[in-house]
A and B are shown apart, each in its own frame.
Chain A
């Protein structure tokens, strides 16, 4: 009774095909986005915005990317970290060598470069499936990272190998600083938020259009998809391209707006696994799930490490670190058993319950 969809009558297919067809959902999402844009920069401090919101949003973008590939198109990938790195290095090259271009263009160019790399490493997907494909993408992970760390051209022959990101204005030399150490945390947060919101919207739109349906068709039953006229190679490669674009943008944002340098260590295999866990916990084939999963996986260790302090317990730091690993592992297993469809499914169940409340059914 709290959450109502009864009494909503649609009179056109346009209304029925909308993104948020239930007014309550619509207002909730509009409210949430408004809060993210206006409320959050006002109430959030340096720590909340800079160390929590920015990385969570960036990881959510990467998770959306992997979700497009794995959740929607059904192609398992362990190369997420490498695709993020491709985006970061290319964005850095564009920002430094083509400095007449505004920094958002450099970041999108990073995404575009990553998309090309993604297509290249997606070609084996026509022949190999499932775990074997995961192994093939693992090759991308190791090869690309090796390439970026060993070919000095990518870092402009920087001696340390970890070039810092300069302070860039939004449009070349106009607008607020949005990257680098001098930029205010609010500006960096809003910059990342704009990317996250638009990419999330685009992902939702693609998911409900022809391209999304062809991904899901290939995922669910590739033979049946073929007889309908879906070209398997074309469809899989489009998923690889768009997925890698998202990952590339995320990688570039990570370097430009979060850690302020292009650090190869940020794009190791651990990152690939982290993002894979995010979409598994958040929900495969769900854009909302990508955000929930990113928040959950990123915040859980932080919460766990703070918990003893909040409870007034005096636990040594190394014990906390070990506990973190154990609790994290247990929670992941618990989730996979209890709710294999992830947090997004829990959210759906909660809505169903609210719809009937206070009646049991």
Chain B
């Protein structure tokens, strides 16, 4: 807690960026999320954890508009939103997926360039003749994308079709594509799933760097407790679609309900 206060004082963490209020999501008779409320502050790394099937990914899907909750509201930057995914992107929410969702037929560079889609406004005639605005935008955005490529150290695979890349690199390209959108809120759905220790360390370093250099707010779903406890400013714990606990890593890890959910209870 004291660490968080220190962060608050030197200005890393600001006011509320996103707030989730009393969200309930049902699929037919199944309740995926029940009355969930929490908030994400500007500049923090916020983790969402919980056992399998707890509703973590559903929560992210609600935030960026894939699922429409039956009850509750989501406010982003103080505005009430109930949006479609493409509008969420426009308002500054980017995301990566648990199962990599890259464009397999395109090169790494093109994949990251698609992340710049919303920054490009040239009309289609300009694109057809590759002259004027379209050309200017292509080059400007290429320069920006190259900065991200440098940042994530993927220079050597720039022109490789992503389908041919190993798993760890694909995850990194997906992060690069999300970063290319210059998001205010970055949703990472299990960015380290299936990685070995070294790859996890790399990815953790990138997440911290993104947060520090770009000031991007990050919402993170992760199963590796070591990573979660080290990276997060605050953690929210879900189980069977209900919120179990919410607080700093220390508070959460000593919470009896959380320990019971993860380790089971003797009956």
Contacts and interface: CB of A to CB of B under 8 A. Distances in A.
B262 interface: no
Contact of A17 (B64, B104, B139): B139
A342 interface: no
A320 interface: no
Interface in B99-120: 101-106, 110, 113-115, 117-118, 120
Contact of B177 (A13, A228, A230, A232): A228
Given A227-B85, A227-B94, A213 B105 contact: no
Given A209-B138, A224-B97, A285-B105, A214 B114 contact: yes
A229 B116 CA distance: 9
Interface centre among A13, A219, A242, A285 (most CB of B within 10 A): A13
A193 B86 CA distance: 41
Interface in A223-278: 223-232, 238, 242
Contacts of A311: none
A127 interface: no
A108 interface: no
B128 interface: yes
Contacts of A221: 101-104
A357 B220 CA distance: 50
Contacts of B85: 223, 226-227
Nearest to A230: B117
A210 B103 contact: no
A216 interface: yes
Given A227-B85, A228-B117, A210 B127 contact: yes
Contacts of B138: 17, 208-210
A43 interface: no
Interface size class of A (residues with CB under 8 A): 20 to 34
Nearest to B131: A205
Nearest to B87: A229
Contacts of A216: 103, 105-106, 110
Interface string A7-51: 000000110110100000000000000000000000000000000
Contacts of A14: 135, 139
B94 A210 contact: no
Interface string A201-215: 010011011111110
Q: Is the interface of A mostly helix, strand, loop or mixed?
A: helix
A145 interface: no
Contacts of A339: none
A206 B86 contact: no
A352 interface: no
Q: Is the interface of B mostly helix, strand, loop or mixed?
A: helix
Contacts of B129: 202, 205
A222 B159 CA distance: 22
Contacts of A231: 86
Contacts of B115: 228
A220 interface: yes
B146 interface: yes
Contact of A213 (B110, B128, B139): B110
Interface residues of B, number: 40
Contacts of B103: 216-217, 219-221, 224-225
Interface in A162-216: 202, 205-206, 208-214, 216
B101 A224 contact: yes
Contact of B101 (A202, A208, A223, A230): A223
A13 B127 CA distance: 17
A209 B106 contact: no
A227 B114 CA distance: 11
B124 A211 contact: yes
A196 to B, nearest CB: 15
Interface string B115-157: 1011010101001111000110111001100100000000000
Given A206-B127, A224-B101, A229-B90, A213 B106 contact: yes
Interface string A119-154: 000000000000000000000000000000000000
A285 B107 CA distance: 14
Given A213-B114, A220-B106, A227 B64 contact: yes
B148 to A, nearest CB: 14
A223 to B, nearest CB: 6
Interface centre among B105, B106, B115, B129 (most CB of A within 10 A): B105
Given A13-B143, A229-B89, A206 B102 contact: no
Which 3 A/B pairs are nearest by Cβ-Cβ distance? A229-B89, A224-B101, A220-B103
Interface of A: 13-14, 16-17, 19, 202, 205-206, 208-214, 216-217, 219-221, 223-232, 238, 242, 285
Interface of B: 64, 66, 84-86, 88-90, 94-95, 97, 101-106, 110, 113-115, 117-118, 120, 122, 124, 127-130, 134-135, 137-139, 142-143, 146, 177, 181
